[in-house]
Chain A
Amino acid sequence: MSTTEVTDGTLIERVAARQREAFEELYGRYARPVLGLALRRLGDRGRAEDSVQEVFAAVWRSAPSYDRTRGPGGAWLYTIARNAIVDAQRRRPAPTMADPPEVVSTSATPDEEAEVSWNAWRVHRALETLPEHERVVIDLAYFSGLSQSEIAGFLQIPLGTVKTRTRSGLARLADVLEGEL
């Protein structure tokens, strides 16, 4: 996270004051982590997408209850999201699908699953803070499975530049995650 970026907690306080711009900024930061959490929890793309809107409706309603002395904004938002997704899961049990486009395995224990979900949430949120040139090489290395040489060929940039950007991206992610959003 850059030092000039408004913190999540400040944004939540502005949402509590009904500032639409703050709500949109918060949405930009957290829409993908929320969708990831919902996918992991619900295992169905359509229901997960529906629940994203419900989560942000809950954020809007609950923002006045946020107290920055009790923890960072990201953790508060995670709790709101998790609760809204659980509520959605209870209201609309999963339908039977013959061939869903995505299947999420949940063989872990509930505690393990909770930890995995929390870590994925933090990582996905932290990825949103990377500059585009670092985000691209991290995406290609970790989520498209390309080697550093293949990335260099694909992006048509020197191998040294790929290595520098990848390392810099990892270091930036470490800074963000250690700063706990």
Chain B
Amino acid sequence: MTDRDISFDEIVDGADPERIRLQAIHDLLLAAGAPPELPPSLEAAPPEPRAGVIAFPRRRYTTITVVAAAATVLFGVGYAIGGRDAPQKPVQTIAMRGAAGATASIALLPRDAAGNWPMTVEVSGLAVLPDGETYTLWLTHDGKLAESCGTFAVAAGTTKVPLNAPYPLKQFDGWVVVRTGTTQPFLLQTGAA
């Protein structure tokens, strides 16, 4: 949410017979803040937990030890071959929404040692622009564009693009996508920052 006051008078008419009741909900919404967006890993319900823990019989210990040792070796080999390129888990997912059903999801990856916040932005439903024209993802502060996180073009359907925010994110309070060179928002953050 931005720091700007949200005017209840703008939303509910002064003569509305339910004004007091709606004012209470208005206040509750402001106090509650935005519900967080679920990361992709939590979009589906987890598998139901098993009823209980079943202990292995003692006679299987030798087999278990051999299997565990083999698994450890295989894990080590696998890590050496490909582990360093394994995809990182997002630390935060930001949902965005625009007109005519356009949506975007920013999967923010862990900050690196240099202070970069790499991210993958997945965009759907944005208008395809003429050749040479792009969109820009901005971090906002107090409702104004603050720092650019990069530009991108979109194709019909869904476009997935890697971008980066080399800034301390605590300085900002929102995200917006605009047409490059303008300040008109095409996508706005809808969930918690």
Contact = CB atoms under 8 A, between A and B. Distances in A.
Interface of A: 18, 20, 23-24, 27-28, 31-33, 35-36, 39, 45-46, 49, 52-53, 56-57, 60-61, 99, 101-103, 116, 119-120, 122-124, 127, 136, 138-148, 154-156, 163, 166-167, 170-171, 173-174, 177
B25 A52 contact: no
Given A31-B38, A61-B49, A136-B97, A170 B91 contact: no
A123 to B, nearest CB: 4
A51 to B, nearest CB: 11
Contacts of A32: 35-38
A20 to B, nearest CB: 7
A99 B49 CA distance: 34
A49 B10 contact: no
For the complex of A and B, the 4 pairs showing the least CB-CB separation, nearest first, are A145-B2, A27-B45, A143-B34, A123-B32
A170 B12 contact: yes
A57 B35 contact: no
Interface of B: 1-4, 6-7, 10-12, 16, 18, 21-22, 24-26, 28-39, 41-42, 44-46, 48-49, 91-92, 97-100, 108, 111, 117, 143, 168-170, 174, 185, 188-193
B170 A24 contact: no
B190 A147 contact: no
B145 to A, nearest CB: 14
A75 to B, nearest CB: 17
Contacts, number: 143
Contact of B32 (A56, A120, A167, A171): A120
Contact of B25 (A24, A28, A99, A174): A174
B35 A33 contact: yes
B24 A99 contact: no
A60 B22 contact: no
Contacts of B46: 27, 53, 56-57
Contacts of A143: 1, 33-34, 190-192
A27 B100 CA distance: 28
Contact of B188 (A23, A146, A156, A173): A146
A170 to B, nearest CB: 5
B45 A166 contact: no
Contacts of B3: 145
Nearest to A151: B188
B170 A99 contact: yes
Contacts of A36: 35-36, 192
A145 B6 contact: yes
Contacts of B38: 31-32, 35
Contacts of B189: 144
B6 A142 contact: yes
B39 A60 contact: no
19 contacts: A24-B45, A31-B45, A32-B38, A36-B36, A45-B91, A49-B39, A49-B41, A49-B42, A53-B42, A60-B48, A103-B170, A127-B35, A139-B97, A142-B34, A144-B188, A146-B188, A154-B99, A174-B18, A174-B25
Q: Which of B12, B18, B34, B92 counts the most chain A CB atoms within 10 A?
A: B34
A177 B46 CA distance: 28
B6 A171 contact: no
A140 B49 contact: no
Given A39-B36, A145-B143, 20 more contacts: A23-B48, A24-B44, A32-B35, A35-B35, A35-B38, A49-B39, A60-B49, A61-B49, A99-B169, A99-B170, A123-B31, A136-B97, A138-B29, A142-B34, A144-B190, A147-B10, A170-B12, A173-B28, A173-B29, A177-B28
